[in-house]
Chains A and B, each alone.
Chain A
Amino acid sequence: MASPTPPRASPDALLALAEREGRGKLRVFLGAAPGVGKTFAMLQAARAATEGGEEVVVGIVETHGRRETEALVRRLEVLPRAQIPYRGRLVPEFDVDAALARRPRLLLVDEYAHSNVPSSRHPKRWQDVRELLDAGIDVWTTLNVQHLESLNDVVQKISGVRVRETVPDSALEEADDIVLVDLPPDELLKRLADGKIYVEDTAARAVQNFFKPSNLTALRELALRRVAARVDSDLVERMQGGAIEGPWAAGERILVCVGADAAAARLVRHAKRLADLMDASWFAVAVERPGSDLDPAARARRDAALRLAESLGAETRALVATDRVGEILRVARFENVTQIVVGRARPKLFARLFRPSLPEELVRSADGIAVHVVTSERGEDARRGWRDRLPDPGPLRGYLEATVGVALAVGVGHGLTQVVALPNISMLFLTAVLVPAVRSGVWPAIYASALSFLTYNFFFIDPLYTFTIARPHELLALAIFLLIAVVTSAVAGRAREQARAAIKRVRATRRLYEFTRKLSSLPAADAVAEAAAAEIQAIVGRSAVLLREQAGELGVAAAWPPEDRLDTASMMAARWAFEHKEAAGADTGTLPNVPWLFLPLVAGRGPIGVVGIEDAPDGVHLDAERRSLLDSLVEQTAVALDRATLAGEIEATRMAAETERIRNILLASISHDFRTPLASVLGAATSLTELGDRLAPAERADLLVSIREEAEHLDGMVRNLLAMTRLEAGALEIRMDWTDLGEILERVAAAARRRGATQAITVTTTPDLPLAFADPILLDQALGNIVGNAVRYAGPSARIALSASADDRNLSLAVDDDGPGIDPALLPHVFEKFIRASAERGDGGEGSGLGLAIAKGIAEAHGGSVHVESPVTNGRGTRFTLVLPRRRIAP
């Protein structure tokens, strides 16, 4: 066996299989015509499934009063219908939300092609079904082959009836199973005659046309072929998925050029059928000349054709380019397209003479790409009347300018003939024709050439001052004028058009650039959201709203003009867009009655929000150009918003890390501060117990004293920690009392000396110092901490001076030292927690960095304050001042 490489499973096929897992399964009961018994077949199958223990619920089934059908439905659980208000009455409709809430294993949803009442969530029932499948619910549904989008025009041709309710082919292709419900035409007709087929009264005549044996046979063939093709493609898919060697997809890619003409939709369907035949992927492209002002109807036709293509499974693109052929081929090459489908209007003799048609140009330049030309049908061209094809008559100003120009030519010509004998004065009039041709377009130019001819004839050609043409060849002048007018204005018009397009493109690019720059300069996500909403509103010209997900809820983050909330239906659409990462609302397939178009903001890690654009009040959607600009804006907004959000998160993380660092410093300093006195206490105590007898009595006494002192030290630290905790919790208990500040200063000085301060500590008070109304214990602590700080940092031989003074309003306690002073960089932070000098000494430094923070807290709790000044004199010294408000003793 010569098989050098083992067969490989096609990734596409595996992907398609994988995507189906986790998704609900769809079974379609396909029939050739109404009345073949699809619903009945579905219900019978459902009954069989129920008997097999399956959980089956009826979402919606139309029994049309048929008794057998009703009997089958009665055995099953039926979901209540939603009552949707429409034009003043309630219309019962299938309730998607009820189905999603009920979540049965298998749901029956009749009539796949049904159109929902406007203001339902989706315009079409097949879209409801898709949502159910996404939610993992298995669905069975029914469909007639004539409702298939790609067969729409074929069916029309066969039956003469235009089917309005259509289902895109992709919706059928999604089906995991297709069950063909077949009935020979004769039997179907018999059932019709027996009145067993439900038809709406209004359609009675159409029905007569529809139910003809020839039609039914043709439709039956269509349905059979459809199912056969499906069976074939299933087989291929399985073979690929299982890596069984067999026919592989040919890799054909089809591009269809969609115009704004009436044939566009037919062209798209043709391409779809071709794509199905070739098993090819396909694209629909609409290329517009820049600045071409399509009338709204044409624009709508083109957009509808693109949407149709999308619903039939094509990728679509709306492009703007001056060189249409070049642009189409560029896309074709880029996408490896092998076949181009293009429509061709009935050739006009005039047009054919001057300019090759699009298909002709394509055929000439498309090397290696097959070009299919689909000719137009009778009637399609007629819709575009000759008036439509005439160029814009242009502004009145152009005609005025042309008149003035001709008048000037007459004047100058007249003057010149007085001076010199010019052989051909008509040259002057040529200028008068050229100027409006270049400036104002073809109509003013033609007007100018006619006027020129008349005046030229009148003023300069014999017989003078008559319009009589003596010699026929003088008419040549008119012909030349006209030719020049038409050719020049065409060339100039093209140039103007290109320039305008270039300017437009530059403007759009600049706008996008400025938008991006503006957004990227903003640090916070909120600011980005606000700027984005305002900018999008300014650029697109519609109200814009930006919603973000915060704490699991989608809410309005910014809007321009300002808006706080959206109505429930709009919010529903916004949420849908967010959750499904697809556009929703106006101009889309989901909740199109909502007056907003919602586009999801998708970042690398998933959806982060939604941008909403208000629909114009007249329901005119955005044109393709602005829509593609909007897409770019939304993309940029997502990037900027994501960046800002991430930056915010990084900042939060940094803050958390900083808090963590401070906590660690606190822990380290506290553990150190506690360990040293504890080590002393434990060491002294064990010395006494283990070496007691061998120590001299004086040494024993000293060890005992050290134990007491270190225990006091520990107590002081515990008090500080507690005070700090209480201060922070706002639970500091203050017991105000009339307090002698001098006494407190003496007490603090004594405590410092006792703690081993080597510095000279002096206390100065004024004799008539009033009493302070304060908590003496807390004041002790605050001042003790300040003095302790001085003892620690002023140096062993410094002088420390404590003083108290009073003025009319305040009492001040000052602690001065003549030490080296405080590092200027540290000075603003001395009252912050965990700040202490020589922080690099992780272990050696004494003090928890809490003392001064506590002093500040205590002073403030008294309604006072603390201040620091350093250096005080000659670049040395530090002064801390604790200020308390003075209170008069009540008389």
Chain B
Amino acid sequence: MTTVLLVDDEPAIHRFLRPALMAEGYAVVPAMDGREALSLAAGQAPDVVILDLGLPDIDGKIVLQRLRAWSDVPVVILSARDREAEKIEALDLGADDFVNKPFGVGELLARLRAALRKHRPGRVAPATIRTGCCEIDLAAHRVTRNGEEIRLTRREFDLLALLARNAGTVLTHRQLLTAVWGPSHGGDTQYLRVYVGQIRQKLGATEQDPVILTEPGVGYRFADAG
């Protein structure tokens, strides 16, 4: 059984999330503040953590930082939409994804699944990833659409592959830029806008099937097929 550590200081959140998570088959370990969360994370070894950033005792980002010192358990952040900077900071600190408050339960469950999938122990990265009508062959560096090969530049392919490997979870601008362009380009978000645009165009992305989803102000997310 998958154990979820649910960290939030609002009893009202626990009140509806607890039954929802249990109905999905998770075991729920509740924590009301940061200290409790850290001790439970150590003691109960949860498989995934849902972490509210606004905690009464320790800031959620600091909880995350301390947690990441010894654990790479997947973490999904709960945050307000107007606290973009905080959210990005948390993602750069190693959070796997975020959900804006208020949120639908379905959205949170999907993020949890994606985060868990990424961290599944002993997981072998698939050689090919399918999205819509496109197939990305990571080993052969080939992308095909309806069997027809699409020519991508090296950078375009690297970017697409990075997003595809983390399908379903968000990657911040900084994470993408640092991985593809190098640490000195961490702030050049205009590269991403151009490259993502080109990739979408080459892959024949549409509004219904955008291939790469934009998380405004935060980063990009590869559309999750499953």
Contact = CB atoms under 8 A, between A and B. Distances in A.
- Indicate whether A and B interact: yes
B20 A691 contact: yes
A756 B102 contact: no
Nearest to A696: B19
Given A686-B106, A691-B24, A691-B105, A844 B56 contact: yes
Given A683-B13, A684-B15, A690 B106 contact: yes
Interface stretch (A399-407, A594-602, A673-681, A829-837): A673-681
A700 to B, nearest CB: 8
A683 B19 contact: no
Contacts of A165: none
Given A695-B19, A702-B19, A682 B103 contact: yes
Contact of B12 (A679, A695, A842): A679
Contact of A671 (B11, B82, B103): B82
B9 interface: yes
Q: Name the interface size band of chain A.
A: 20 to 34
Contacts of A710: 12
Interface string B112-139: 0000000000000000000000000000
Given A686-B104, A691-B105, A677 B16 contact: no
A703 interface: yes
Given A678-B102, A687-B16, A706-B16, A756 B53 contact: no
B38 interface: no
B210 interface: no
A706 B103 CA distance: 16
B108 to A, nearest CB: 8
Nearest to B53: A843
Contacts of A694: 23-24
Nearest to A668: B82
B4 to A, nearest CB: 14
B54 A679 contact: no
A841 interface: yes
Contact of A683 (B9, B82, B102): B102
A699 interface: yes
B29 interface: no
Contacts of A683: 13, 16-17, 20, 102-105
Nearest to A691: B23
A372 interface: no
B16 to A, nearest CB: 4
Interface in A221-266: none
Contacts of B12: 676-677, 679-680, 706, 710
B101 A679 contact: yes
B150 interface: no
A542 interface: no
B10 interface: yes
Contact of B54 (A678, A686, A842): A842
Interface residues of B, number: 26
Nearest to B12: A680
A843 B54 contact: yes
Interface in B52-83: 53-56, 80, 82-83
Contact of A675 (B9, B24, B80): B80
Contacts of B17: 683, 687
A680 B17 CA distance: 9
Interface in B1-32: 9-13, 15-17, 19-20, 23-24
Nearest to B80: A675
Interface string A684-717: 1011001100111001001100100010000000
A672 to B, nearest CB: 7
A236 B24 CA distance: 96
Nearest to B54: A843
A695 B105 CA distance: 13
B102 A699 contact: no
A841 to B, nearest CB: 6
Contacts of A681: 102
A741 to B, nearest CB: 32
A679 B109 CA distance: 15
Contacts of A699: 19, 23
Contacts of A682: 102-104
A680 B82 CA distance: 18
Contacts of A756: 11
B17 to A, nearest CB: 6
B213 to A, nearest CB: 20
Contacts of B20: 683, 687, 691, 695
Candidate in A672, A687, A691 with the most chain B CB atoms within 10 angstroms: A687
Contact of A679 (B13, B24, B56): B13
Contacts of B15: 680, 684, 702-703, 706
A687 B15 CA distance: 11
Contacts of B102: 675, 678-679, 681-683
B16 A703 contact: yes
A104 to B, nearest CB: 56
A839 to B, nearest CB: 13
Contacts of B10: 676, 679-680
Contact of B16 (A672, A678, A684): A684
B105 A690 contact: yes
A677 B54 CA distance: 15
A844 B105 contact: no
Given A687-B20, A691-B23, A680 B80 contact: no
A687 B105 contact: yes
11 contacts: A672-B80, A675-B80, A678-B102, A679-B103, A683-B13, A683-B20, A684-B16, A687-B20, A694-B24, A696-B19, A843-B83
Interface of A: 671-672, 675-684, 686-687, 690-691, 694-696, 699, 702-703, 706, 710, 756, 841-844
Q: What 4 pairs across the A-B complex have the smallest Cβ distances?
A: A843-B54, A679-B102, A680-B12, A686-B104
Given A675-B80, A696-B19, 20 more contacts: A672-B54, A676-B10, A679-B10, A679-B103, A683-B16, A683-B17, A683-B103, A683-B105, A686-B105, A686-B106, A690-B109, A691-B24, A702-B19, A703-B15, A710-B12, A756-B11, A841-B54, A843-B54, A843-B80, A844-B9
